[in-house]
Structures are given as structure tokens and as C-alpha cells.
Structure 1
Amino acid sequence: MGRLALLVCLCRCVAVVSGQTTSYASSAPSTPPDVISLSVTHRSETTLTLQWATSNSTYSYKLSYDGRVEDISASQEDSLITHTVSSLSPGTEYTFILYTVFEGRNSTGVSITNYTTPSRVDNISVTGRNETALILQWNKVNNKNYSYMLKYSVNTTYINVSGGGDVVTHTVSGLSPGTEYTFSLYTVFKDVKSSEFTFTNVTTPSRVDNISVTGRNETALILQWNKVNSNNYSYMLKYSVNTTYINVSGGGDVVTHTVSGLSPGTEYTFSLYTVFKDVKSSEFTFTNVTTPSRVDNISVTGRNETALILQWNKVNNKNYSYMLKYSVNTTYINVSGGGDVVTHTVSGLSPGTEYTFSLYTVFKDVKSSEFTFTNVTTPSRVDNISVTGRNETALILQWNKVNNNNYNYTLKYSGNTTYINVSGGGDVVTHTVSGLSPGTEYTFSLYTVFKDVKSSEFTFTNVTTPSRVDNISVTGRNETALILQWNKVNNNNYSYMLKYSVNTTYINVSGGGDVVTHTVSCLSPGTEYTFSLYTVFKDVESSEFTFTNVTIPAIVSGLRCEYASGGYGLTLVWDPPIGVRTAVQVILGDKRFIQLEESLFIGELQPTQWYTMTVTALSGAVLSAPVSVSCQTDPRGVIAGVLSFLLVLTLCIGIFIWYRKSKLPGVLSKFKSSTKDKVSSYTYSPIPIQTFPEHFNSMSCDENQGFCREYEDLSAVGTEQSHTAADLPDNKKKNRFINVLPYESSRVKLSVESATASDYINANYMHGYNGNLKQYIAAQGPLPCTVSDFWRMVWEQKSQIIVMLTNCTENGRIKCEQYWPLDYTPCVYGNLQVTVTSEHKETSWTLREFVVRNKSTCEEQTVTHFHFTAWPDHGVPRATHDLIQFRGVIRQHMESFPFMGPTVVHCSAGVGRTGTLIALDILLQQLEKEAAVNIAGCVHRMRLSRPLMVQTEAQYVFLHQCIMDSLRPKQDSQQVQDSIYENSDMIYANALALSQVKSASTAD
């Protein structure tokens, strides 16, 4: 049996694989086939009708859906089977599985998905409308996000719903105003529509677009407007508390309606609505007014020569406007505020003229009927009075005749009334008011009188001349101030005006006492001033009271001594004055000296002795406070004599011994050679004018070899000197270049104002031609951090000249900070205020004048700024003429002020261009006074005071060229200059000069 069963199974498998159906009497029932052509043939909100085809009438069916199972029997005759599934939910998606059933076995099943018809909307409301739209609202069907389809006219709109909420709102737009529409609404689910829900509604009709008032009076308005859309709509008019319904019928396009029973001069606001099927249009609002009542009476309450004051009761006690017409004039009068009377001034009239006026009440540009009246103006008043003369007791008045007529006049003042009768020709009235008090203010009232009618009052005030001060005393003085005192004039608190120099001071007096004390400050020491004092009352000045006085001269400062006459004398030196002094008095024991300059030689003294001198400045008969100084005469005269004798004796003995040992010739030769080198390196003789051209040509030979050797000879001069202060850490930032540091022995020291302050500035004193140790100050161009120090140096040294030889920026590099104001606005640097008072530009230089003011002491100092702008960086000017002329201008200014402080000269580093200009000034003075020049000696001496003075060989050669051009006629200058500079590249090729330029990067 097992084998037989296996055989049957294998046969069945073979049959299935081969696609053949083989029936075996003994086999089990097979799975029935699935139905074909399963479809839905009908639907409703609760049913779906299914239909399918069958090939065997013996089959039955089983339907599974929504958790339910239905058994379906089919009749033997049907080839198409129909089955209705009921009790379904509206608008719901269902999935059905249909199985064929045969002999208890099910087919695999056929699946179909379909939907019931959704429910329709049960109600729709209109929640909003306008002329072109309706806002519809309904509840969601079954509270689900179904879609909806809306039909109206020829339009179909699909409405998709999503999100929360149970209400659908939809706006239907693009409609026509005042039109009734029929709508059909369907619920849509999966493209299945519900039954139709139909409703009707209307859009808002259009409103009236314009209304005109075609007539009005005090109680009525006639309104007119076009019919809306030419339809016989109804209208509703509202105003105040009234509502009027206006029915329109018949032909024509215009509606006319009269609103009566209104109040005069009243503004009404109307609202007009178009009405269609009880739906009102939007509101058309407009305002208009009825005609106001006219004025019933007018009075004139005041007048003058050009005006009338009119008064009337307000019409209906309201703030209407009014329109007044007279002559060719029309005036609109606006009224506001309380009260029941209107007052209006008609101005701009002609004096003594009759006018006819027409007055209208005006409300919202609507005029009442006319009210007419006439009236006249008063005569003109005097239009101006001048005081043509005054003294302490009288005023002379003058005015033009009014309208050039012989009117009479009335003058009132201080309880007095004067009647002035005028007759005769002329157009001016002159009247003298006498018997007045000095320095007193009077108020006058003048009236024009014509036919007993007075003009309006012309009031004016004026004052008599005050008495002048009768005496002034000086109760105190110092270097910068005088204390003046005088009695109050007439014991009144008048003001006073004090004039002196270019100053005018106004002195206001108040309070008790009968004496005025005034301090005149910010004066210059030792200066005589002429003062003019005036009593002032109401801007009227008394006659002048003039007096002169002198401030105390400034104490003599900068006292120092210099050795002289081998110890048998000394030179006492002091600084130039602050302000003015006529002389300096020096007392030494019983000797008294009066000196006009800044130094005094005192002879017949003893070497190595101390002497105390008392020094006082004089300004006329006024003396400053005395200052004492103790000095020792030179002790070197005695010592030098002894040392010289010993040195000569020793030398002679040495030479004798060497000679005896037969070594004298060689040693002496070497000694002479050494001495000769020493002299050639450091001793230079002046070259006379007559031989200078020959010397110049000799030095120029072989491409300036003579200049090269001589300039190299000066390279090490002064370099062994100390510059301790310049190396301090706090001072290093004040140096523009690291290799240009001022020597300690000759540096300029600033005053130290506090324990933390520094006396350092990168500047040195330089000798002048006349032996003055401080003729010049050679300084570097200020840095941003040293501008205030620079001005403090100028102030403390009493320098009145600054010479600038660089531009602030050259070849894109900053060479010097601009240390003066950009314009005429004062700038403050530290405690000093600098003001530019003038600026004059030439081709190669600019001259400026500064006023420097010490803010603490009020002292002022004038400084002239000479700025040479044509000197190229790392070179020399193209021609000598401009620089020689520039130096001449400076020298002339220096000699005009012999007592001023050192002249400050700077470029960028303060050595190259600065040294060249200072040397040129010294050499041209030497040339003039000695007929000889010592250029090498001059540069040698300068380099002992500041390093690198005359910094390049080209500048050294340029100095010689300047001397040459000063000796020869001008026509030869250019030719020689071209010759000397044609090998300028060779000059700069000089090894020493080139190394200086590269290492320092400071060439001026």
C-alpha cells in the first residue's frame, strides 16, 4: 500500500507539472477557481452592489469585509451573479474578498476596494458678503475632511479640506454686485459625489459713487446722484437721527432728493445706502452744509492811522468764519474760542480814509447774504525820531512831517506836556528838549494831532550823556596786571568801557559802595599802556578820560657767567626779556652798570674769585624784582701759566736728551709728522675772498677729490661725546632716528614741572657767528608724541623764529608731524595755545605767523615760521639762489629782534638740511665781516655740538657752491653750478657719504 500511495502521488505531480488535468476516482476534491470580472455596479450612502461572472453553477460564495462574512448562494441559471451589501456607512472605503466555495473548499479569493456615496451637506449659511463675493460656511459632513464641489452659473469649484475643525469656510469671489445666485454643493469622496444641496443668495449691491448738492438755502439741501447700475434700486438716507427710504421707479438715470427742515449754517453728515432684496450696499458718506445767517450789526471799537477794530456778535453764537471785502481787498476771518463776540482788526489802511465794507458769514466755504457798512481811519503817527545831538542836559529831536503836512504835535515826558505847532516849508521838524539831568534815561510820547484827533502814541526812550570819570589811581601792579580805581560817576552803577592797545573791556558795576576797582590782566611785563576810560549808560559813552601807566618788568632770567680776559674779567649773560625792558641794571659791590643788550662784560677782576651780582630789569622808572647770581672768575689763567712753563721746560730737556743719543733726527721727524697730521685733521684756516675761487677749483679737480678728502676728515669729529639722556628707555621713543642722538654737553633741557616729568627733547644749542653759544637750536622734526614738547621748548627758550626745511611728507614717507593748526582755528598743545594769524606762500617757501599763548599766565608770544618747501630729500636744492634768498629773509628778521631767544631750525633728523642752513647763515656773516670763510672749520665746530651736522658730501659741496655764487655775478652762477653738479652721481658714490645714507636712513 505504501508503494501504491507513492505511485499515485508521483502521478499527480507529473500531471500538475505537465499542465494536464487527470481525474482519479480515488483522489480528494480540488480548490475551486476564483471568480472573474468582479465589479461594483451600484452604490448609495449605505449600500454597494457587487457583480461577477461564474463558470459553474454549482459553486457557492463567501464574502468577507469589515470583519464580517456573508455566504452567498447562486441560482443554477445565472452566469452573472449580483449581490448588494447593505448597512454600510456613507462615504466610507471598503475592501471586499470574494471566495468561490466548492465541496467545503475555498478558492484563494478575489479582492476589490470601493466606496459608498458620501452624505450631502445639510445646511449652508452666508457669513459675509460684499459686492463681488459671498463667504459660505457649513459643517463638515460626518466631521471628515471630504472634498466638495460647488456649482453656480457656469462655474464649478473644487474645495479641498484639510486640518482640524469641524467647519468649512469658502469664499466665492468674482461675482457681480447686487445679483442673486443659485448654488449647488456636493460632498466628494474618492471622486464619488453626494446628492445635490441647492441654495440661493445675493451679493451686496454697489454703493452710490458720487453725490452733488445742486441747491441750498438756510434750511434745505437738494441732493442728486446717478442710479446705481441704472437699476431702480431703493435707497436709504441717514443723517442726524433721521432715516429716509427713497423708492425709485420710472425712467431716467438720475435720482434727485430734497432734504428739508434743516438748521442754518450747520454741517450735516449723510450716509446713503443702495438696497437690493433687503441687502444694503456699503455706506457712502458725505458732508455738506446749509447756508449760514448773515451778521445783523457791526460797531467800530478802536482805530489808528492804518487800522480799524471791528466788532459784531457771532452769528447763532457759533464760531463761523467771515469774509470781509473793502476796496480791492478780501480778508477771511477765522473765529475760535469762547465768547459770543467777534473782534477783527482791519490793517494796512491809509490814514484818514473812508472805507465801505461788505461782511459775509462763511461756513464750510458757503457765504451768507451781504452786510454793508462804512467807517474812517485816524491820522498817521510819527514813524521815526532821531536824536541829532545830545549833551549832559539836553536832547535835540528830529522827525519827518507826517504825510508832509503841517500837523501839530504833542510831546509828553516825565509829567511834562509840550504842544508843538508847525508851519512853513520844509519836511522836517526839529525840537530841543532842555533842562534834563546827566546820564538819565527819559521816555517820550509823541502824538500827531489833526482836527483834535490824536494819532496813536509814538513812544521812544533816550538818554543824556553821562558825566565822565574825573580821576583814576593805580592801587597795585605786577608783571602782567594793573589794579585801577576810581569813584563811581554820580554815585550810580554805570558801566564803563576801557580801551588799551587793541583791547576793549566792558566793566559792569553793581552793588554798594562808591568806588570802582578793576584789574587789567594778561598784560605784557614792563610795557607802558595808554588807557582811555569812558562812562557808559545805555550804550552812550561819556567824553574820554585818558591816562598812561607801566607794568612791572619781568625779572631777569637765565643768568649765567662765562669766563673772560684770562680770569681778570667775566661776561654775565641773561635771556631775552618776556615783554619789554628798556635796560638791565647790574650791581657789583659799589659798581652799577646799565646794559641794553643780553650780556655784560665786567673787567678789572681777580682770577679764581667769587663775585655776587644783583640784576634788575628796568622799564622806564619801574624796576623788576632783583635777582642775585654768584660767579667765579676763570682759575685757568694762573694754572695755565705754570703748566705752560713746565711743559716747555720738559719738552726742551727731552729734545736735548734725544739729540745727545743721536736719535733726534728720526724722532723729531716722526713728531713733526704726527703734529702735521693732527693740525691738518682738526685745524682749518679761513680762506680769503680773493683766493676762494682758486681753492674751490682746486677742491673740484679729479671729480671733487678735494671735497671728498676734507669731508672724510670731519667724519669722526665729536663722536666720542656722551648722549646719556637720549639712551634712557623713556626717551628712546622721542628720537626719530637711532643714530641721531643729542650730545649731553649741548642738549636743550626742558623745565621739569613734576617728579615724573622729563627734561629731554632731541635738540642741541648751536654757536652763532658772533660767539653766542645759543644763537640757534638744531632740532629733529617733531614726532606725534613730541609736538607739545617742541612748543614748550619754543616757549621756554623765548624763540621767535622757527625755520622748517622739510615737508611733512616726502616720497610717501612721513618726515615730520604737522605741529601747527591746519587752519585759523586755534589748537592747544599742552599748556600752550597756537593760533595761525597769517600765511603767505612764495614759490619755494611759505611764511606763517603764529601767536603762542600760555593758558596759565595769559602771556603771548609771536613766532614767525619760515618753511622752505623746495629742498628734496637726500639731496640739495636745484639752485643756490632760492636758499640764499631764503636765508637773507631769516637773517633780516633775526637782526630786527636782537633780544629774542635762539632761532629753532629743524628738518626731519635735524642734522643734514638743518646743518647746511645754519652753516650758510654763519659763513655768509663771516664773508661779509671778515672777507673770508672757513667752511671746514664751521662744520667742525657744529659737529662738536650735534652729530652729523651737514650730513652728506653733496650738502658740503653745496655750501661751497653757495659761497661761490655769492661772490660772482648772477649770470655766471648757473653755469658754474651745472659744472660742479654734473658729476653728482660721483659725489654720492663717495664711500663715507654712501655709508652714512644707508646706515642712518636719515638724510635730510
Structure 2
Amino acid sequence: MEGVLTLVLLCAVFALGQMKPANVANVKTSQTETELTFQWDIVDGNTNYSYKLMGDSAPIVLINATGQVVTYTVSSLSPGTNYSFTLYTVFNGSQSDGYNFSAVTVPSNVGSVSVFDRKETYIILQWEKVNNRSDYTYELKYWIKDEPPTQSPTDSLEEHNVTSLSPGTEYFFTLYTVFDRVRSSGYNFSNVTVPSNIANPPKVVDFNDTDVTFQWITSNIAYNYSLERSNTSREYIYNIAEGIEVTRHINGLNPATNYNFTLYTEFFDVRSTGYKFSHTTSLSRVTGVDFTRSETQLIITWNKLNKNNIYNYILSESNGKEESFSGSSEENEFKHTYSSLTPGTVYSYTLYTEVNGQRNGSTFRSITTINCVSFKWDITNSSIEAQVNGSTHVKAENRTGNAISLPITDNRVKLQELYPGENYNVSLLYHLDTEELLQCSHLLTLVPNSVGRLRCEYFSGGYGLAVIWDPPTGVFDVVQVDVGKQSFNSSSKEQKLNVKSLQVAQWYTVTATSFSGAMRSKTASSNCQTNPAGVIAGVLVFFLLVIIICAAVFVWLRYRSGKRNNSPKPLVESKGTKKNYYKPIPMDAFSEHFRNMSCDENRGFSEEYEDLSSVGIEQSSAAATVLENKEKNRFSNVLPYDSSRVHLTVNDEEDSDYINASYIPGYGNASKQYIAAQGPLPSTVNDFWRMVWEKRSQAIVMVTNCTESGRVKCEQYWPLDYSPCLYGNLVVTVKSEDKAQSWTLRELNIKNKSTSETRTVKHFHFTAWPDHGVPYGTEELIKFRGLVRQHIENSYSAGPTVVHCSAGVGRTGTLIALDVLLQQLHREKAVGIAAFVQEMRLCRPLMVQTESQYVFLHQCIMDSLKTKVVAQSEPLYENTDMIYVNSIALKQYENGSNI
């Protein structure tokens, strides 16, 4: 039995050794680009397996398994390849029939993806085929951050258009390579669509000639912007983070220029197609100019616009004539003068700014000034009237500051209800646009009112009258009272005048006239009788009086005869004789001489002055009558003699050696101590200063005011203020000014521009000499002369002292004579007034021009003797009553004879 069992077992074992093992039931695969991993369950506990790669010449590979599940990896494979395998179960050297299966390795990702084209709603992607495999397909997945992805199947092409996208958005992509339904790990990348342009054009919120400010609205604060100026390809880049309203300022532009701009929206590095627009810069105009006005000139001044050199300027007249000015000038101020204009005329000008051929202009107007003196002023005691031009308003202001302002109708000034005798500064104005322009000013004095209730009372026991009056209403300076042939001046504070030395029981015509400056009132008149109480009644007395009168007449006739025999008579010599013609009067005899000359209403003075009238007139004045010199003479009857005229230096052909001025001798041997000159005209001011410089004068004595009684007597030839003024080649500067009641003293510096040499000149200006006649008293003039004499004596090396009034003969001659005669009186104890006047007239005509000035000169000597001026080493002046009454001067004023 046992033997049978053993045999069966041996047969079974043998049979089993000849049977094939079973195949694996199933193989699971996983893959990468270069590996395939297989997994299967152990079959019947077998641990030995083998596989063979189909089509591969490699031998069968044995696999020893452990555990219940077998995992095996095949490496070094090619990506994206289909591999076929046979897996064998091996047992006791026998293998199964084999389990056949295939697996695919993962294909490789694309190397890169580029954007072939993009717009606001699509992106065209492009890539190279992986390994140039045409059997590969591709899948694209894309999404926006924080949103689910979208699957986009593709064909086998290497280009794909991703559409229906949002503008200016970042998209994330994964591109898969697919082979046999196996996808690669995926190529990850991102890209953006083109951002959209702004929806609305930018607004210009501010601009000027060179700057502009744009503003626009954005719907996405993640966008950036770039603004391109196509004229220069200049870009302005802006990073936007502050909101949806964007404001940007651009400067450095040119005025009047059109600029093309493109505004790009930028997202990451992608910019939009760009919004195109344009802007033209503005061209500003000059809004303000200054006018410097005169009668015949307008000077227009303006500043460089914005201090920028790019602007040029065109100044156009109303007739179309233009003047051009380059903006490249280094000066910040431009100036242009229009000359030869008509006084009192409105002129219009347009000032253009110009850039790139474009203009922008403003129109300005101004008016030339006028000369108030040229009009005829009708003046009463309460009104001022005149026919004028070039004015729309008139303003009159008195010395207290009260003013009247009225419009001018029909070019007629009518100022009424003014204060009698008052001084009014009358200004003519022109209201032009928004400006009130001063055309000219004129100082006028109204006619004073007459005195009231002129009457007389007995005085001095019948030998005088007390003249009484009520002062006139308004302003007045002095009241002149005439009693018979006597004339007296009374101050404005007095209302009574006592007149002596009249005859008893006689009727006298008494008149009173008030004066305000040069204006005189109507004359008030009254007949007055001296006290007749002392007259002895009866025939006896009558005969006694007749006898007395006859005796008096006899004595008077003898006295007259003796006076004629003793009065100075011309010697036999000709008028050309100088000091020998009249003999000096000793100091102690001068008082009696003065009384004798004053008798019979100054008959002695009249005869002596008349005797001097023809002195020197036969001399030649040829240079003064040359055609080009005639206009340099203020008066045609006051011409310098050729023998004594001042010659100026002639440096070139345009210069002239002529000036209306003459050398006058001084005391002793000083043959050219003075220059008597006319007051400068506008055309001779430069010549006047040339004379002062060339003759080295250190003193100028002026005995006139520039304007008197509404008439120009002398041109203002020194600076109005402390600013230097140029006269020809000389710069004159006022260094100091000291005003007193009757004079003004100035110190002037004169600099020669050619040599830079500077000198000091003293200017003595006597302001209290009336336009007509002589000063009211001698004291002030004597003091003034003392100041001048002191300066002359302290300036021994100086040239001649220049003395002038208006014509340079009347007041000028009187002052020069006073200076010389007081020197003579001090040194010789005698004075020869007539002899020195004769000597001056041989050098210049009409010196001491009027009889009143000649009498006044004698009065100055009388008052100097009384104050003992000549007895002192230095002048000593005392207050004395005014002796000389200027009746002759007032009468000559009435006749208008004085210059």
C-alpha cells in the first residue's frame, strides 16, 4: 500500500514539473517622461517573473518579487513613447505564456510659449512642436487669478488664439503636451491682454503760454499711463495709484504752438493703441505799459513778458507803421520814443507779442502834455477863465489846500466864486480811459478887492492927513496910497497912514490901490482937505500971505537956479569915457547928495539916468544878429557887444562860440570879475553850463524866478530834485539846498563825462525881487549881496561870477553895481554910482535897466551908510525902517516897461 502511494506521489511531482505557471491577471501602470512603473499581484505565490520589451533585442529581464504586490520600474525610456511588454510568470524554470500589455511615457512640455499677437480681447499664442512630433496634441488651460480655469482644447497646431478675454487683464496659462491621452506635466506661464484706451478725451484744466495741465478718468487703478509728445517724441510716464482721476502738468512748451499728444494706457509692459489728441499753447500779450509824456514826445516803456526771451514785440501806430523789438535782448525793459507830436493830442498804439509768426496785441492810449502859459487867462477878483485844448477837467488849489475840480466844456475853463487876491495852482487834466493825466499846471493870482470906505482925518496941525480905509476882503500883500504926488506902501495889517508935509487948508486927491503879487485892484479915490483952522482971516492976512508967497517963490527960483548950477553935468569927454565922466561922492556928502537928487519928484535922478541912456549904444553886436544866433536871444533889444561878449570854446563843427552873455568889470583892476547873462532858454541850457565849466565859475547868482506873473522868465536849468541830470557833456547834481525867506542857497556838483573831473558851484538864488520894479526894502538884498561877496572873496582862483535875471541887464546890473559900489564905499569912503553904471553900459546895454532900479541903487547905499556896513570888517546888518518908497517902480509896472 505504501509502495503504491509513493509511486503516485512521484508521478504527481513529475507531472507538476511539466506544467506552465499561470500569467498575472492584471498590470497597473504609471509613468513619467522617462520611466514606466508596473504593479501586479503575485500569482500562486510565485516570486519570480520576467518581462520582455516587444521589438527590443534586449534579453528577458528577470524580476524577483517580495511581498504580495510587485512594483517594478523601467527607466531610461523616451518621453511620449508607446512601449509594448510581455510579462512572464516563472516557476521551476518554466514560464507562463506571458501577459501582453502596453504603456506610454509622459510627453515633454513645450520649451516656451510666445505671444504672436494680442489685442484687448484676445491673445494669439505660439510655440514649437515638442521634438517635432506630429503625433502629439496639446491642451491649454487658462484662468484669472482667484477664478476657476477654462479648458481650451487645441488641435495639433502650434498656434492658438485665445479669445473672449477682458482688456488689460493678466491671465495664467498651462499648456499640456498630449500623447495617446497622456498629458505632460504642463508648461505654466502668464500674459496680459492689451489695455483699453481712456473712454473720454483728456480735459485741459489749466494752461498758459508754456505749460498745460491735462486731466482724465481711468476705470482701472492698476493701469499706468504714458503721454507721448509727437513733436519731440518726448514721453512723460506716470504711475497711477491714487484714484480714478488723473491730473498731470507739462511745462517747457513754446507759445502759440500746436502739439500732438498720444495718451497710452499701460498694463505691465503692454500699452494700449493710444488715444490721440492735440493742444495749442496760448500767446499772452503785454497788459501794461508806462508812458513818459511831454508836449511833443511820448516814451513808451514795457517789461519783458514772463521774463522769457522767446517773445518778440511789434509796436504799431494807428497809421500802420510798425517798430520791431527782438526778445533776445539782455535787457528786461524795452523803450521807444515817438517825437514831433502835437501837444494835447491823444495817440493810440498797439503792442503785439509775436511767436512763430503768431501775434497777440493790446492797444494803449496816451496824450501829449500842453503848455499852460500859452493860453490867454482872463482873471478877475473871483474868476479864472481861458480857452484851452487837450484837457477834460480843471483843478484849482489855493495855498490853504482848498481845491475846486470841474469838467471843461467846449474847451473853456470857467472857475468862479474864487477868493479875491488868492494864489491858485491851476492844473489842467485829461481823463483818459481809467487814468487822470496831468497836462500842465500854472500859478495864477486873482485880482484883489479894492479897499473900502477910503476917508481922511486932520493930522499934524493942518500940515498932514490921516488916511483911513477898511481893508479889502480876500488876500492882498500891500496897499499903495497916493496923496497928491506922494506915494506910500502900507502892509496888509495896517488900515491907517499918516501923511505929513502937506499944505494947510488944501484939497488933495487921495487914492488907494491894493496889490496881490503883481495883480492890482481897482483904485479907490477920495478928495480930502487939510485942516483950514490955522488960516488967518482978513485982507491983511491975505496980503501978508501974498508977500510971503512972493518971497517964497523968489527963494524957490533962486534955489532952483542954484540946484541946476550945482547938479552933475556931463564933462566935455565923449560917452566912451568911463570913470572920469562922473566924479565919486564922498561918504559924508552922500546923504545931502541923495536929498538933492530926490527933490522935485526925483528930478535929479531922472536927469542923470536920462544922461546915461545913450552910453555904449554905438558899439557893434554883429555876432548876436547872425541868423543861427538870433534864436539864442531871449529879447531882440538885449544883445551883447562884440567887444565884451563871452566866447565859448568850439570843439567841433556843430558847436557855436555864441552865448548871450557879457564880461562886466569888478572893483579895481578886475576887468572880468562878472559875467552878466540872460536867463537860459530851453535851447541854451547846455550852452549855459558849458560857459560855467569853461570859465571855471564857482558861483551863479540868480535874481529872477523861473515863472513870474504867469510868464516864463528863465528855464529851470538845474535838476528838480537830487537826481543827476545830463546837460551836454556835463552831469549836474544838487548836493544840498537851503531855503530862507528871500533866497535859496544850493550847492551843485558838476562832473565832466569826458575827463571825470568834478567841481563844486554855489547857486545863490534871490527870490524876493518882484517881476516888475524893485524889492520892497533894501535890507534883504544887502544881506544877500553879503553872502555872495563872502563866497567870491573865499574863491580867489575861481573864474568870473555868473549873474543873471531874465534879460541879464536890469536886476543883474543892479546887483553887480551894488556889490562893486559897496566895495568902493568901504575902501575909498566915496562912491561913484553914475560912473560905474556908465562903465557897465559900455560892456553890456541897458545895465540897471529902469530909473526905479537906479534910484533903488542909491537907496541901498543910503541904508548901508545908516547901518554902518562900510565901517565893519565884516558886514553888520541892522533892522531899519524902509526909507525908499517904490512909487516909480509901480508906475513903470503899470506901463509894462520892465523886462
- Normalising by structure 1, we get a TM-score of 0.32
- Larger relative contact order (C-alpha < 8 A, sep ≥ 6)? 2
Question: What is the TM-score when the length of structure 2 is the normalising length?
Answer: 0.35
